[in-house]
């Protein structure tokens, strides 16, 4: 299902080559002002065709509001005036993004030959011949555009509650960025950069790794670290409603994400309790911890310290090299070479998507 949330409901729709894609956000608070310039800037961080590493597909990714907002500057509700202040009304907000630069013909020969490590084969097994194979259909990374639009709106409300979210590339291949300060993450540093890292030297190395992969008609994976500040102690949920569980559910909706870890995560499994435990101390009026191996979450609930997690992004499945596949109707082995426009690495473009998905989950938890 392309739906998320309990108190708010997000519904995504669209396919890579459908006329449009979009998102409906239901249960969203009324009276929230939408700054369309800031929204466009947020969308731009994810948009394709913007740098040397991303697919050559060019999409404006302009977000059009179909419902749930009204122009309040003149009291009429008319949204035609582009300079007007747009406010959410409390009704479901439908946002639409048009798909313009589609080349469906590229995919005709792939209709029955699943691309390795894409969703093509299980999608065929589930939906049969009627499924939309063009560009990966509804499994395409294109669907993260409306997710970003929805996430941007959620980020606005969270900001009003004192909650901020930021992410950065934490690794590309074997090359690692610095980590956020776990007690005071520097959320805004990566946001202002075209290649969102903390340490630009490592960023340059990462870009070399991506160029090398591209030069070999190959791709490379990486990871993203995300931090959330301002979540009050005790927020979240227990057991099957844990912060870890709900954030993971949102993260795994991002194509190519294959792992999630909180705080010290997998590295923490090699630690002793005396190293991994976070001692408490009083800091003025607040209870804080001296370290943050818990990633700001204990028992599924926020500790009041920054929430920290990392997601694993697999190497882009679409590569230019010849690969083994099968022709589905006749069950015959074939050799496949994917042509078309692909990213040698999607980690940098996934950074705002991780922020957006985290924002949707956190707003649902904190409303």
- With CB under 8 A as the contact rule, the residue among 183, 184, 204, 271 that binds a second copy is 271
Spatial distance between the Cα atoms of 163 and 246, rounded to a whole number of angstroms: 17
What minimum distance in Å lies between the beta carbon of 35 and a second copy? 15
Strand, coil or helix: what is 341?
Answer: coil
Considering the complex, state which of residue 18 and residue 348 has its C-beta at the smaller distance from a second copy.
Answer: 18
Residues 10-39 that bind a second copy (CB under 8 A): 10-15, 17-22, 24, 26-27, 30-31
Task: Give the CA-trace dihedral at 121, 127, 129, 135, to 10 degrees.
Answer: -60
- Residue 9, strand partner residues: 26
Residues 162-191: x/- map of binding to a second copy (CB under 8 A)?
Answer: ---------x-xx-----------------
The answer to whether 27 touches 8, Cβ cutoff 8 Å, is yes
User: Greatest CA span in the chain, whole angstroms?
Assistant: 71
Residues 330-349: x/- map of binding to a second copy (CB under 8 A)?
Answer: -xxx----------------
Residues 50-89 that bind a second copy (CB under 8 A): 66-68, 70, 72, 75-79, 87-89
Q: How far is CA 300 from the centre of its chain?
A: 22
Which stretch, 8-16, 47-55, 192-200, 348-356, contacts a second copy (CB under 8 A)? 8-16
Considering the complex, state which of residue 17 and residue 349 has its C-beta at the smaller distance from a second copy.
Answer: 17
Taking Cα atoms as reference points, which of 36, 37, 349, 40 lies closest to residue 167?
349
Considering the complex, state which of residue 100 and residue 129 has its C-beta at the smaller distance from a second copy.
Answer: 129
What minimum distance in Å lies between the beta carbon of 367 and a second copy? 11
Taking Cα atoms as reference points, which of 301, 287, 306 lies closest to residue 235?
301
Considering the complex, state which of residue 72 and residue 191 has its C-beta at the smaller distance from a second copy.
Answer: 72
Determine if 111 is a binding residue for a second copy (CB under 8 A). Answer: yes
Spatial distance between the Cα atoms of 20 and 38, rounded to a whole number of angstroms: 22
Angle between helices 347-366 and 243-251 (to 10 degrees): 140
Instruction: Determine which helix (DSSP H) or strand (DSSP E) holds 9, and give its type and residue range.
Output: strand 9-13
- With CB under 8 A as the contact rule, the residue among 82, 108, 188, 215 that binds a second copy is 108
What minimum distance in Å lies between the beta carbon of 49 and a second copy? 20
Determine if 221 is a binding residue for a second copy (CB under 8 A). Answer: yes
- With CB under 8 A as the contact rule, the residue among 48, 264, 363, 365 that binds a second copy is 264
- With CB under 8 A as the contact rule, the residue among 230, 245, 340, 341 that binds a second copy is 245
What minimum distance in Å lies between the beta carbon of 156 and a second copy? 14
How far lies 283's CA from each of 44, 129, 220, in Å?
Answer: 40, 62, 43
């Amino acid at each position: 299902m392309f739906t998320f949330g309990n108190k708010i409901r997000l519904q995504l729709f669209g396919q890579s080559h459908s006329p449009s894609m979009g998102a409906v956000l239901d249960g969203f608070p009324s009276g929230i002002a939408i700054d369309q310039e800031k929204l466009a800037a947020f969308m731009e961080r994810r948009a394709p065709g913007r740098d040397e590493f991303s697919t050559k597909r060019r999409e404006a990714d302009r977000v059009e509001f179909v419902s749930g907002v009204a122009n309040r500057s003149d009291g009429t509700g008319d949204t035609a005036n582009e300079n007007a202040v747009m406010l959410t009304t409390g009704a479901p907000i439908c946002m639409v993004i048009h798909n313009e630069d589609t080349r469906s013909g590229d995919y005709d020969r792939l209709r029955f030959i699943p691309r390795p490590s894409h969703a093509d084969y299980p999608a065929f097994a589930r939906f049969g011949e009627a499924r939309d194979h063009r560009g990966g259909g509804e499994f395409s990374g294109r669907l993260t555009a409306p997710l970003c639009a929805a996430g941007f709106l959620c980020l606005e409300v969270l900001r009003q509650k004192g909650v901020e979210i930021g992410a950065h590339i934490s690794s590309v291949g074997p090359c690692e960025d610095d980590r956020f300060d776990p007690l005071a993450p520097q959320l805004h540093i990566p946001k202002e950069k075209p290649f969102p890292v903390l340490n630009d030297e490592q960023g340059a190395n990462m870009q070399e790794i991506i160029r090398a992969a591209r030069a070999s008609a190959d791709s490379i994976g990486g990871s993203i670290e995300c931090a959330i500040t301002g979540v009050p102690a005790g927020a979240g949920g227990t057991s099957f409603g844990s912060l870890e569980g709900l954030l993971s559910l949102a993260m795994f909706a991002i194509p190519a994400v294959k792992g999630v870890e909180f705080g010290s995560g997998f590295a923490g499994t090699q630690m002793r309790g005396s190293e991994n435990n976070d001692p408490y101390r009083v800091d003025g009026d607040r209870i804080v911890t001296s370290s943050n191996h818990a990633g700001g979450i204990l028992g599924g609930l926020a500790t009041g310290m920054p929430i920290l997690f990392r997601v694993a992004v697999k190497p882009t499945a679409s590569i230019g090299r010849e690969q083994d596949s099968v022709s589905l109707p006749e069950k015959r082995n074939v050799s496949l070479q994917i042509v078309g426009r692909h990213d040698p690495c999607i980690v940098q473009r996934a950074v705002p998507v991780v922020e957006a998905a985290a924002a949707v989950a956190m707003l649902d938890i904190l409303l």
